[in-house]
Amino acid sequence: MIYRLEVKKIDEILQKRFKKIDYNEEKKEYSGKISYDDFSKIVKNTNWLTTKENNLILRQYFIKFGNDDGVEYSRFAEDLHKARYELAKSRIMDTSIDKIGESLFEACKIVDDKCTGTISVQQLRVILLASNLIMLTPLQINFLCGYSNPDGADGLTVEYEPFCKNAKKLIEDNFTVDVLRRKAQLIQLGQFKEKEILKYEIAELELFKVFRDYDENRNGFLELYEYRECLEQCLSLYLSK
């Protein structure tokens, strides 16, 4: 349940890419299948799946469909949800939680070739995605990057030592299996009632207008590279933390 909305949005994006390849211009129809190679290229070239998710899904699809008959892509959302459940069920992150901070710090030092004590937030994201000790979705990793308090002249520079020291607590408080289970239970039991949630009026900011220009299908969801392009276009705006 925790992953449902994110998986739905990812599926909306990838289904369009699957169908673009699948479409038969002559017959004006879809077969519901694409080659395993095409499927593999699509899932590997999105920012919204981790390497661990890619490997698990591709292995399952290769076993299920092989390399010749074509991949049926209509149930991708269901299969992605199952893959995330399998990764969470492994509890690798829970059992490795004490090692995460030190592991991230060593990885950051390698990237910090000038020994400044800082790296870019994008470099931090790549390190988090590549870590064998972390089992988070790309969206969760984006949230975790937000806790790194990016600063500097460009607003995208991270002092990584304090972040790495606090990484264990951040993950324990927000993303371990037990925490996610409690959140799912609260949602399922209806503990979050509409009348108890404060509603805020969001001003028609220039930044939101730019986001909508890039949001071609108007679903309120941007790929990471599109989001970066939006921010680059808005450098003249004052962006508060």
Q: Give yes or no for residue 191 having a pLDDT over 60.
A: no
- SS3 state at 85: helix
Over the chain, what is the mean pLDDT? 80
- Residue 219 is predicted with a pLDDT of 58
Residue 144: exposed, middle, or buried by beta-carbon count in 10 A (0-12, 13-18, 19+)? buried
CATH class name, domain 94-194? mainly alpha
Q: Phi and psi at residue 37, in whole multiples of 5°?
A: -65, -45
Contact 19, 30 (CB under 8 A): yes
Residue 46: exposed, middle, or buried by beta-carbon count in 10 A (0-12, 13-18, 19+)? middle
**pLDDT tens-digit map of 77-97:** 999 988 888 887 777 777 788
Q: Of 236, 100, 80, 86, give the one whose Cα is nearest residue 164.
A: 100
- Residue 234 is predicted with a pLDDT of 59
**Rounded Cα–Cα distance for residues 227 and 233 (Å):** 10
- Residue 209 is predicted with a pLDDT of 66
| Confidence tier at 207 by pLDDT (50, 70, 90) | low
Domain with CATH 1.10.238 in the chain: 4-89, 94-194
Average pLDDT over residues 99-109: 95
- Residue 238 is predicted with a pLDDT of 43
Q: For residue 20, how far is the Cα from the chain centroid?
A: 23
Average pLDDT over residues 19-29: 91
% of the chain at pLDDT higher than 90: 37
3-state helix, strand, coil in the chain (%, to 5): 60, 5, 35
**Six-digit token string for 163:** 């972040």
Average pLDDT over residues 115-129: 93
Question: According to CATH, what is the number of the domain 4-89?
Answer: 1.10.238
